[in-house]
């Protein structure tokens, strides 16, 4: 991971959120009802004719909260911010849930590798560029308890300049067979919606 990765996240996340929002508003959904297909736009009513000739009104709404699920994990997230998944290699799968402000989560699932051994490396990757640019960095131990009682352990890396400050919680759980590494990122000027997103993520996160 290149040291400039956190900064590239912000620009890429903003573009992704705008793209997703635009495509959702454009509609293009098809509902099959009583053997007939009805074209729908999101949040717009449409009239459908059933096989017996009866006319009904249908409407497609998007839930405010959705749940992302795949093998070994699940979590809740706002419908307006969709997770993106990438297979970095055969051992590492990465999920990103990042707002247009650059606040959010990077979750990596490892196979055959202990992610707890990578915490210090990830701290450096996420913050060294800022330190080189003159930011002050403070690193302290950190833990996060999951709903099932298990704990992720790692580091809190706080970087600060005159203009901005970031808190990055870098936590992991696992052993030599594999596990999970979770990074959360939050800027000092915290958007309430982003804070709520992270709170809901931790409250709903299930790791198997």
- 16 lies in some domain: no
Position 4 scores a pLDDT of 46
Element holding 48 (H helix, E strand):
strand 46-49
The CATH code of the domain that includes 79 is 3.40.1000.10
pLDDT at site 194: 96
- pLDDT score for 17: 41
> So what's the pLDDT on residue 124?
96
Asked if 65 and 73 touch (Cβ cutoff 8 Å), the reply is: no
Structural domain includes residue 45? no
**Is residue 190 one of the residues assigned to a domain?**
yes
Query: Is position 126 within any domain?
Result: yes
Residue 140 domain flag? yes
Cα distance between residue 15 and residue 9, in whole Å = 10
**Spatial contact of 27 and 45, defined as CB atoms under 8 Å apart:** no
Q: Is 88 domain-assigned?
A: yes
Domain of residue 94 covers 63-207
Q: Count how many domains the chain has.
A: 1
Question: Do the domain assignments include residue 58?
Answer: no
Query: Per-residue confidence of the chain (208 residues) as pLDDT tens digits?
Result: 444 445 544 444 444 443 333 333 334 888 888 787 888 888 888 888 888 888 888 888 878 899 999 989 999 999 999 999 999 999 999 999 999 999 999 999 999 999 999 999 999 999 999 999 999 999 999 999 998 899 999 999 999 999 999 999 999 999 999 999 999 999 998 899 999 999 999 999 999 8
- 98 found inside a domain: yes
Cα of 10 vs its chain's centroid, Å: 13
Helix (H, G, I), strand (E, B) or coil at 56: strand
The span from the CA of 189 to the CA of 91, in Å, is 35
Per the CB < 8 A criterion, the answer to whether 179 and 187 are in contact is no
């Amino acid at each position: 991971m290149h040291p400039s990765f956190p900064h590239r996240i912000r620009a890429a996340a903003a573009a992704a959120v705008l793209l997703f929002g635009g495509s959702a508003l454009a509609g293009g959904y098809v509902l099959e009802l009583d053997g007939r297909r009805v074209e729908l736009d999101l949040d717009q009513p449409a009239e459908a004719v059933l096989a017996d000739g009866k006319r009904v009104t249908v409407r497609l709404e998007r839930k405010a909260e959705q749940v992302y699920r795949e093998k070994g994990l699940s979590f809740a997230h706002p419908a307006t911010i969709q997770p993106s998944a990438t297979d970095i290699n055969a051992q590492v799968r990465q999920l990103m849930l990042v707002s247009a402000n650059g606040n959010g989560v990077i979750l990596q699932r490892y196979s055959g590798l202990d992610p707890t051994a990578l915490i210090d490396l990830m701290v450096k990757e996420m913050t060294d560029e800022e330190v080189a640019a003159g930011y002050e960095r403070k690193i302290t131990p950190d833990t996060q308890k999951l709903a099932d009682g298990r704990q992720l352990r790692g580091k809190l890396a706080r970087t600060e300049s005159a203009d901005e400050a970031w808190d990055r919680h870098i936590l992991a759980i696992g052993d030599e067979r594999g596990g999970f590494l979770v990074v959360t990122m939050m800027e000092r000027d915290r958007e309430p919606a982003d804070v709520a997103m992270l709170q809901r993520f931790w409250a709903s996160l299930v790791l198997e």
